Chain A
């Protein structure tokens, strides 16, 4: 029973942390361009004139 007084708040705080992170990402526009995010990884930043 003693362990629970720590573990349950910890579980709730971790869960809430995840929820807050999700809200933040929603507000920051992380879900606006899902297809673009998948493609941007392919862009070569070094190339000055772009790959084409």
Chain B
């Protein structure tokens, strides 16, 4: 490999637009890797905290106590958030109405809001990964096409076109495509992986919400039957 064909040398010698394209791709690649790391850590922590919370919930602790133990509304995340919003709605509605259906409906609504917020939080920035994955090959291709255009323009000035006059230009141009792929491939892989992970977690939250709802329903049913008798 001679010195003039090394990759840094090729990048430094490329034309301005190709260099800009490469810079853009580098920025996209760095940003996507930041998101990949941030999301992986965040999702792993969310899963761990969900497991902890589930253990606590099913350990037979009194729900009122659990509610009091949990931190304030803004800081709670995941299943805790779902539980809190549902239970708060339940507590607020119970003294006001005798209708079981109205209470359950209120609880369900509160949980739905919390769930949609959680979904939003889990999939934060994942769309950026998808964008990088689909767009950066095209951006790289644009850089390549531009570089090859330049190479042909300069080729028309040359007396004779040998392979050695064409090769450096094309190698330069192809670096842009390579960088596009370099940015796109991890983004695709991790977008699939992370969105699957987030979806799985969200499914767990939904299951938890249903179970919690069933418990409340059972409680209310028992109470109304007692009152009726």
Query: Do A and B interact?
Result: no
Q: Which residues does B use to contact A, with CB under 8 Å?
A: none
